[in-house]
A and B are shown apart, each in its own frame.
Chain A
């Protein structure tokens, strides 16, 4: 087993599988609650987190975790019960985070970290420690999802009904934001912020057109995610493309094929 984990390809495939498995339910929840843009915002703000972390000589992950948790907590405090997150607010945070991040990275000595690594990570360079972190995060998120699934789904359908019928909507919402923050912060080094954001949304969109229940949509999202992962890693080896972007494009290709087939069958 240990020998097997010595192989970088095995490590990266396990990391990818874990990430896709947890991105499926998280991505569905985000899409249902129209939070797709939040992952983008957190991703861009994470660039600032990396810069801060490096500047303070902390592991970048802590910088990222600090910044994204600060953002989600203030967002959940600033929004009233009836007003979901405004796209404008998210866009402002997104651009500011990216701009501040770029300046911070520019201040740092050259070649400390590349923007490309932050955006797309390096799946093929995953270490044993990274793998451990990813495994723990995936397990924690999975347990929280199982515990609170009914509340998460109910809040996605109607905040009013959920609150009236005994679900503490704001707490549930904050928990969900914190879970998204955790996902982004821990997975970032390996997956990169853009890959995470893409994997939360693209396989989910493919799954939507085939699903008749929330749980099926999660299952199909995972399957589409696995397929994109496989296709991405394969084309990365075959054509010597970067792994992260290859996975994203595989996911989009699958989405287009699914839409075409569904339209064919439907007409």
Chain B
């Protein structure tokens, strides 16, 4: 069964203040797949998600979205506005009207049901992340965009969070676009990796990307080892052939 194509990006380039940030990046997002963008600081990861999200529109290249594509978004940093009273329950209904039972279910799944009546200002960073992660699944999104969802979360929390994201993907039958810099934890749940450093260094299934010379040059052999170990220990369904490997080089 071929998965539904939700978004097609071709040769996306973007410069800000005459500095090139993205250089001819191409990729596809399919329903039911988790795509992870990895790359060093300043690689253009957040810029790329902003373009996918429609936050930046003065890029060059082609971006086709499924008409009426519904996005759920967790930004890298959410500044909590102390001037505004806002409960957790209310922030889950921020952009779309959602029933009370859907709110309860989403919070329960993210294991933060007990926070429902708390004010957003009183949450810890980790709690806020989980609440906002739960929020992205509401209103039947086609695509969930998560910009470093685990920043400020401890390692156990992180593993749980990735499991949760993987659950959402199956349950909602949506696509997930995930930005991460902690590679080894992400890899086992990912269908497609985009290794970004202004240009797309390499992309494809995690096992193949982790062996790619440009990836190794960026992250070192140590990273490749930890991925291999982690994905081996955790999951045996990956095909190791790396057929989907895809090079973008000129």
- Please give the residue numbers on chain A whose beta carbons come within 8 Å of chain B beta carbons, in ascending order: 31-32, 34, 81, 150, 153-154, 156-158, 160-167, 208, 211-214, 216-217
B55 contacts which chain A residues (CB < 8 A)? Answer: 81, 160, 163-164
Q: Which of B54, B85, B139 meets A214, CB within 8 Å?
A: B85
B84 contacts which chain A residues (CB < 8 A)? Answer: 31-32, 156-157, 214, 217
A65 to B161, CA, bound (A): 52
Q: Are A157 and B53 in contact (CB under 8 A)?
A: no
A164 to B50, CA, bound (A): 8
Residue of B90, B139, B145 with highest tally of chain A CB at under 10 A: B90
Q: Which of A157, A211, A213, A216 meets B94, CB within 8 Å?
A: A157
Q: Are A154 and B87 in contact (CB under 8 A)?
A: no
Q: Are A158 and B83 in contact (CB under 8 A)?
A: no
CB distance from A238 to the nearest CB of B (A): 34
CB distance from A216 to the nearest CB of B (A): 7
A213 contacts which chain B residues (CB < 8 A)? Answer: 85-87, 90
Q: 9 extra interchain contacts, Cβ-Cβ under 8 A, other than A158-B79, A164-B145, A165-B73?
A: A150-B95, A161-B78, A162-B94, A163-B53, A164-B55, A165-B71, A165-B95, A213-B87, A216-B85
Closest B residue to A31 by beta carbon equals B83
A166 to B55, CA, bound (A): 10
- 6 cross-chain pairs, A with B, having the tightest CB-CB distances, nearest first: A164-B73, A164-B53, A165-B95, A211-B85, A32-B84, A160-B75
Closest B residue to A36 by beta carbon equals B83
CB distance from A68 to the nearest CB of B (A): 24
Question: Is B241's beta carbon under 8 Å from chain A?
Answer: no
Question: Is B72's beta carbon under 8 Å from chain A?
Answer: yes
**Given A164-B53, A164-B145, A157–B91 Cβ distance below 8 Å?**
yes
Q: Are B83 and A208 in contact (CB under 8 A)?
A: yes
Q: Are A163 and B54 in contact (CB under 8 A)?
A: yes
Q: Which of B54, B87, B139, B145 meets A212, CB within 8 Å?
A: B87
A166 contacts which chain B residues (CB < 8 A)? Answer: 70-71, 95
Closest A residue to B90 by beta carbon equals A213
B83 contacts which chain A residues (CB < 8 A)? Answer: 31-32, 34, 208
Closest A residue to B75 by beta carbon equals A160
Interface of B is mostly: loop
Q: Which of B56, B86, B94 meets A161, CB within 8 Å?
A: B94
A3 to B84, CA, bound (A): 43
A81 to B53, CA, bound (A): 13
**Given A32-B81, A156-B81, A160-B75, A165–B86 Cβ distance below 8 Å?**
no
Q: Which of B54, B71, B72, B94 meets A154, CB within 8 Å?
A: B94
CB distance from A31 to the nearest CB of B (A): 5
CB distance from B39 to the nearest CB of A (A): 20
A163 to B95, CA, bound (A): 10
**Given A153-B94, A164-B53, A165-B96, A158–B86 Cβ distance below 8 Å?**
no
Question: Is B11's beta carbon under 8 Å from chain A?
Answer: no
Q: Are B75 and A165 in contact (CB under 8 A)?
A: no
Closest A residue to B69 by beta carbon equals A166
B53 contacts which chain A residues (CB < 8 A)? Answer: 160, 163-164
CB distance from A180 to the nearest CB of B (A): 17
Question: Is B119's beta carbon under 8 Å from chain A?
Answer: yes
Q: Are B85 and A161 in contact (CB under 8 A)?
A: no
Closest B residue to A28 by beta carbon equals B84
A154 contacts which chain B residues (CB < 8 A)? Answer: 94-95
Q: B204-227: contact bitstring with A at CB < 8 Å (1 yes, 0 no)?
A: 000000000000000000000000
B90 contacts which chain A residues (CB < 8 A)? Answer: 213-214
**Given A153-B94, A213-B90, A161–B75 Cβ distance below 8 Å?**
yes
A161 to B120, CA, bound (A): 16
Q: B81-114: contact bitstring with A at CB < 8 Å (1 yes, 0 no)?
A: 1011111001100111100000000000000000
Residue of B53, B85, B119 with highest tally of chain A CB at under 10 A: B85
CB distance from A38 to the nearest CB of B (A): 14
A157 to B90, CA, bound (A): 11
Q: Are A157 and B86 in contact (CB under 8 A)?
A: yes
**Given A153-B94, A154-B95, A213-B90, A165–B85 Cβ distance below 8 Å?**
no
A158 to B71, CA, bound (A): 15
Q: B126-169: contact bitstring with A at CB < 8 Å (1 yes, 0 no)?
A: 00000000000001000001000000000000000000000000
Q: Are B95 and A161 in contact (CB under 8 A)?
A: yes
A214 contacts which chain B residues (CB < 8 A)? Answer: 84-86, 90
